[in-house]
Chain A
Amino acid sequence: MAHAYTPGLKVLHETKINKERRLPLKGTVVVENGTTVQPDDIVAKTDLPGNVQMVNVANQLNIDADDVNDAMTVKVGSEVRKDDMIAETKGLFGMFKSNVTAPVDGTIEVISDTTGQVVIREAPIPVEIDAYMSGRIKEVIPEEGVVIESEGVFIQGIFGIGGESRGDLAVIVKNREEEITEELITSELAGKIVVGGSFISLKAYKKAIQMKVAGVVVGGFNYFDLEDILGYTLGVAITGSEDLATSLILTEGYGKIRMGSQTFDLLKEHHGKFTSVNGATQIRAGVIRPEIVIPLSGDELKGDHKDAHASEGIQAGSLVRVIRAPYFGRMGKVVDLPSELRKMESETMVRVAIIEIDGENIEIPRANLEMVETD
């Protein structure tokens, strides 16, 4: 049977989810293998080296770099407080002395007699990593972090902004076509992950931020409105480090596009459950898509798992979504995967799939299809 590899987004009602939680630098892992953790539990911590301040003592005292060591009143390794004197000239008969003070609290790291610079390192910056989702510690990576395993719902979005967030899931629209309007965002949604249908306007999203909504999951948003939120034009889709109170995850793309029915129905089914989301997106080699994770407990699991990392190609019968004009956003079933190249209206020669959309068979380049992986 004809078969083609087409990247797709996952919409899984029950799967094993593994999350690696790794420190930026080596440190200490504070949990053990097999421990059950909650999203806010700290799993690993470390100290990042403090910031560095450089003080040009030679310039400030108007002396040669060679003479800096003689002028220093502290040594390498000394701890200093802000405004402590660190160097002083001998002056003239003990008078007209000039001195240099520390601009910050820290430790003297280097005194250079070539450049006359003194390097002061500030206190280390503590960093802690939490569990992000509830689950069990499956693996401890010594000094670096852990792998947490959980079971539950796993859904990938196409694009997001803002990093990790969590809260109870609140589906606030009646159907997948409905937009999230300003009126729908109320103060009761503070701290929740809000789910909408086809679109959220800039005004409604701003209100969500104002109401301290934890996250928004919706079909589409306008690309040109991102600038208003981010303060710059998003040139490449690498996000996640924005300082946003409300993470935003788009399941379909830019514009007004109704949410896929599988995604919407699955989210609706879990209305009220505690949900972790991450808007971080990286569309480069080593792609990262935003995600929605709803860990489920024993009695909520049906036991019909699907591996979140397995990816099948498309074949006749596969459910696909068209991801480029002129049929953008439409979903259909693969009828056939002819092997020969076909000429498109644009005169581009491509491999195509024949898709049945609303009872009609349409030729679409395979590159313009996205598989919807459901279970």
Chain B
Amino acid sequence: MKLRSILATDCGSTTTKAILIEKIAGEYRLAFRGEAPTTVEAPFEDVTKGVLNAVMEVEELAGRKLIDGDNIMTPRKGDEGVDIYISTSSAGGGLQMMVAGVVKGMTGESAQRAALGAGSIVMDVLASNDGRKPHEKIERIRQLRPDMILLSGGIDGGTTKHVVELAEILAAANPKPRLGTSYKLPVIYAGNKNAADKIKDTLGEITDLDITENIRPVLERENLKPSRDKIHDLFMEHVMQQAPGYKKLMSWTDAPIMPTPGAVGALIEMVAEKENISVVGVDIGGATTDIFSVFQKQFNRTVSANLGMSYSICNVLAEAGLKNVLRWVPFDIDEKELTNRIGNKMIRPTTVPQSMEELVIEQAIAREALRLSFIQHKSFAVNLKGVQKERTISDAFEQSESGESLVDMMDLDLLIGSGGVLSHAPRREQSARMLIDSFLPEGITQLAVDSIFMMPQLGVMANIQKEEIAEDARMAAIEVFEKDCLIRLGSCLAPVGQYKVGATVLITELTLSNGETQTHVLKSGDIFRIKIPYEPVKAKLTPGKGMNIGAGKNEVIETTIYGGVVGIIFDGRGRPLEISSDPKTRISNLTNWSKAVNEYPNLNPNSES
């Protein structure tokens, strides 16, 4: 079947978003979008109502029939209906899991990686060596009531004792699922295959046990896919079945419903693979911040469960500290007054900044939420721990160990931001600055934001398994991602090295597409922007003495770089970025940096009541 129109929805915890993709003049484009409140909770308790409302908006805009009675019309008949309908979901708190492994840093971490990769929130990691006594673990399991548990531990053929011990703890806790009381809690066992029978004896009766391949069959290799697939299956079979209206929704879709973050991850993985690049994607929401990365072809995802811009805004303040938030604010403000303001945003999470001051404060907090989430991500996205590496003499001098972070900012090609504070900032310059200040990209890095957060829907589209439509759907996902989903902000050029005051850190010679040439000199401590749209620009980058712009110290690079709606930002402020602790100097620097990229041209602090 040739796909001409695809309808996709994402059922979020508050809003259900629908997009209609159509093949127009030989290419797939986003045609229309609509949204409506999610209807999982009382008084509606039926997710499909919100879906139909969102689709109805699309229907009105498209001016053609997509709904027949209480059904989405598939397949398309003439001018009515769509070829396929697909959906993602994070309604009702998404997929909440608990994982267990024998050694916290090894099988525990592998299990966590599998669960996160599948799009779940990991509520806790249970391990034989996590320092808690058995009764403390039991109490914790009872308290949490996860949607499912992933149990791993031991390499194939290794000792079975420890993983069976974990199973006994689970059995003693006799965990109950979060939603509903009429079914047994799904448990996936993905540990030492020799222990499978004993695990069956211990957990087979009281849980809905599923046994899959070992997540860590040998110490040197992770085998996450079977567990990830199993999590998706059980998400559909058990968790989704309990959520109101999902049985009906599942009967409508032409591909399995995916957890929203799982779909985003799948898309980012696909983009990185297709372009052969390193990618970091971030989605900063009201309650959580998700970070996805692909470095050295390895995909990682982390969820910072309590770092967000509304529900968890006070937690950002608690974890970052008031000083760290204030260092991004270019005016004086009473600290107690500020904490009350942030507290009020937490208890009234849907409010928007009306004054410029409020906007600046909100974006200061966003920088800290992003920075902290990225620190968590870097410490999790690591090489496998516990692996003996063959070393050469030079490695020995470098002291490289197993468990080092995969995240290398110099290696990063594309940084994508999404979530209200980044996608809907009044000026794109603000989004670019937030991304740069919190992620501190090095060398040459392209920046983008997801315009209306349609990565989830595109992720499911790219993952359709039905043979007859898989290829078209994947093509549609790629084309829409490139043409309609991403807003290219531009590139950041940031040389790295020992900064000396006033020294030249980078000389850039650009040849634009119209043949015009430009030369720009970046001095230590400066930041500036040149306006160039999203088009290839030939660039010769000559780093200052001792500086590195990507090819090594003092190495000149000749390459193609891209502008965007913001342009090219030259960042000579150094890495790590140091912000003066003297308030006067800090405010003066922040004001200059803002001016250089036209971030807050209308900021006139303390002008209001």
Contacts and interface: CB of A to CB of B under 8 A. Distances in A.
Given A54-B135, A255-B340, A347-B426, A114 B161 contact: yes
Given A235-B312, A347-B426, A365-B352, A159 B172 contact: no
26 contacts: A7-B350, A51-B139, A52-B138, A112-B202, A119-B168, A222-B339, A222-B340, A233-B314, A236-B287, A236-B315, A236-B346, A253-B347, A254-B339, A254-B340, A283-B346, A284-B311, A285-B13, A285-B14, A285-B38, A325-B355, A344-B355, A345-B356, A350-B352, A365-B352, A368-B352, A370-B348
B93 interface: yes
Nearest to A325: B358
A235 B342 CA distance: 11
B341 A325 contact: yes
Interface of A: 7, 26, 49, 51-54, 65, 109-110, 112, 114-115, 117, 119, 121, 158-159, 222-224, 233-237, 253-255, 281, 283-286, 309, 323-326, 328, 344-350, 364-365, 367-368, 370
Contacts, number: 173
A54 B133 CA distance: 9
Contacts of A344: 352-355
B174 A49 contact: yes
A233 B318 contact: yes
A346 B426 contact: yes
Nearest to B162: A115
B347 A158 contact: yes
Nearest to B90: A285
A52 B172 contact: yes
Determine which residue in B40, B198, B358, B609 has the highest number of CB atoms from chain A within 10 A of its CB, and name it.
Answer: B358
Contacts of B609: 326
Given A114-B160, A119-B168, A236 B314 contact: yes
Contacts of A115: 161, 164-165, 168
Contacts of B578: none
A237 B346 contact: yes
A54 B171 contact: no
Interface string B319-350: 10000000000000000110111111111111
A328 to B, nearest CB: 7
A65 B161 contact: yes
Nearest to A52: B172
A283 B287 CA distance: 10
B27 interface: no
Contacts of B426: 346-349
A323 B350 CA distance: 10
Determine which residue in B164, B172, B349, B608 has the highest number of CB atoms from chain A within 10 A of its CB, and name it.
Answer: B172
A326 B181 CA distance: 48
A223 B342 contact: yes
Nearest to B201: A114
B219 interface: no
B388 to A, nearest CB: 28
B351 interface: yes
B513 interface: no
A110 B172 contact: yes
Contact of A237 (B92, B173, B311): B311
Nearest to A367: B352
Determine which residue in A109, A254, A364 has the highest number of CB atoms from chain B within 10 A of its CB, and name it.
Answer: A254
A370 B602 CA distance: 28
Interface in B448-492: none
B358 A324 contact: yes
Determine which residue in B315, B339, B347, B350 has the highest number of CB atoms from chain A within 10 A of its CB, and name it.
Answer: B347
B169 interface: yes
B359 interface: yes
A189 to B, nearest CB: 26
Given A65-B161, A235-B318, A346 B354 contact: yes
Contacts of B314: 223, 233-237
A7 B350 CA distance: 10
B134 interface: yes
Contacts of A52: 134-135, 138, 172-173
Nearest to B172: A52
Given A54-B169, A253-B343, A346-B426, A112 B164 contact: yes
A285 B81 CA distance: 32
A325 B160 CA distance: 60
Given A115-B168, A324-B354, 4 more contacts: A114-B164, A285-B91, A324-B351, A324-B352
A325 B351 CA distance: 10
Nearest to B316: A235
A236 B306 contact: yes
A253 B311 CA distance: 15
Contacts of B172: 52, 54, 109-110, 119, 121
Contact of A222 (B168, B336, B424, B608): B336
A352 to B, nearest CB: 9
A236 B312 contact: yes
A26 B173 CA distance: 17
A285 B358 contact: no
A26 B315 CA distance: 35
B37 to A, nearest CB: 8
Nearest to B607: A345
Q: What 7 pairs between A and B have smallest CB-CB spacing?
A: A235-B315, A223-B343, A347-B426, A233-B318, A346-B359, A54-B134, A254-B343
A346 B14 contact: no
A347 B346 CA distance: 22
Contacts of A325: 341, 354-355, 357-358
B315 A323 contact: no
A327 B225 CA distance: 53
Contacts of A112: 164, 168, 202
